[in-house]
Structure 1
Amino acid sequence: MESQDLFGVVREPPGSRSPTPVLASTARRYGAAAIDGALAIVAGALSGLLYLISESGAEVPSLSGGALSGRILAVCIGFSLVNQVMLTAIFRGSVGKLIVGTRVVRLSDGGRASPIRLLLRWIGGIAYGLTILPLALLLDGTGTPPPDFAGVCITYATNKSS
């Protein structure tokens, strides 16, 4: 007799989950990262635009104080943090990952990743994405997939056989 939840979905018996999840393709990983990055940049740009509109009166607002660039940077980082950590903790994926059909799981057993692991993954991803990845692309890297940080990995959202 199969166990079902409240909505009639068959529950997986304990131990039936594959111990090693099937990793998502590099194209999907980079596609999700591009969508997430574009969303963060758009959020920052909109914040900067709203700042300029709110500060503009009869004269041109001063851009020398760094308030505009600080605001844009803070919104970009804040949006990225909420998208990559909080949304992933709730929905198992950021907006970009959900669009391309991937999710973030624990590397050890394919279960839901904890918020602390997701925060460490976000910090590692920012450091990797801003330093090592551009250098690898400039130096014609080997095309190896990016590393998985903090014991979590990106898999296909549906069960995809190898």
Structure 2
Amino acid sequence: MESKDLFGVVREPRGSRDLAPVPASMARRYGAAAIDGALAIVSGGISGLLYVITFPASEAPPLTDGALWVRILAVGIGLSLVNQVLLVLLFRGSVGKLIVGTRVVRMADGGRARPWQLLIRWVGGIAYGLTILPLGFILGGSEAPPLDFAGVCIADTPARASARPGHFVT
């Protein structure tokens, strides 16, 4: 009898995949990151705007108000956490990754990433994206590919993978 996951997708037996996943192209990786980043920034901005418009015009808080910025950051970071951890856990991809046709898989066998891997990947991605990446662009950039860490990588979805030779299909 075949085993199915929460959404009714048939699970493959352990060890049935003998090829490691092929990472997605740089353009699709950065495209997904741009979509995910824009989603977090826009949602934080909308939250801040909603906070400001709840006040009468004469009592509106200034842009230097700490509560406004805490709210913007909390919503942006919270949405990023849900998008990068919870959605990837459920659907193998964040909103941006699903739009561009990639997914997050374990490097070892192409299976679903574990929750702890996704959480470490999210924390590392925030740290990398806020420190190393901006410095790299300021100093002239680098041709090095983005880091895949925590035992997961960004790979093609099955529809795209089937068109690539030597790539597994789930």
TM-score bracket for this pair, using the shorter chain length: 0.7 to 0.9
1:32-111 matched pairs, under 5 angstroms? 32-55=32-55, 57-63=56-62, 64-111=64-111
Note the residue ranges of structure 1 that are not aligned, 5 or more in a row: none
C-alpha distance 18-31 of structure 1, shift in aligned 2 (>3 A): farther
- Output the amino acid matched with 1:25: S
1:53-106 CA-to-partner distances (Å, cap 9, x unmatched) read 112x15141224311111001100000000000000000000000000000001
2:125 matched to which residue of 1? 125
Give, as a single letter, the amino acid of the residue that structure 1 aligns with 2:139.
Answer: L
Q: Tell me the CA shift for residue 123 of structure 1.
A: 0.4
CA RMSD of aligned residues (A): 2.5
2:84 & 2:156 partners in 1: Cα distance? 17
Flag the 1:67–1:19 CA change in 2: closer, same or farther, 3 A: same
Task: Provide the secondary structure at the position in 2 that maps to 1:99.
Answer: helix
Query: Hey, what's the Cα distance between the residues in 2 that align with 1:85 and 1:4?
Result: 24
Instruction: Find runs of 4+ consecutive structure 1 residues off by over 4 angstroms.
Output: 9-14
- Percent identity between matched residues is 65
Structure 2: runs of 5 or more not aligned: none
- Out of 65-74 and 10-19, give the one that drifted further: 10-19
SS of residue in 1 equivalent to 2:112:
coil
* Alignment partner, residue 143 of structure 2: 143
Between the aligned partners of 1:142 and 1:83, the Cα distance in structure 2 is: 27
Alignment-mate amino acid for residue 111 of structure 2: G
Q: Is the 8 A contact 1:22 1:161 kept in 2?
A: no
With the length of structure 1 as denominator, give the TM-score of the two structures. Answer: 0.88
Question: Which amino acid in the other structure matches residue 67 of structure 1?
Answer: A
Q: Please state how far the C-alpha of 1:37 moved relative to its aligned partner.
A: 0.3
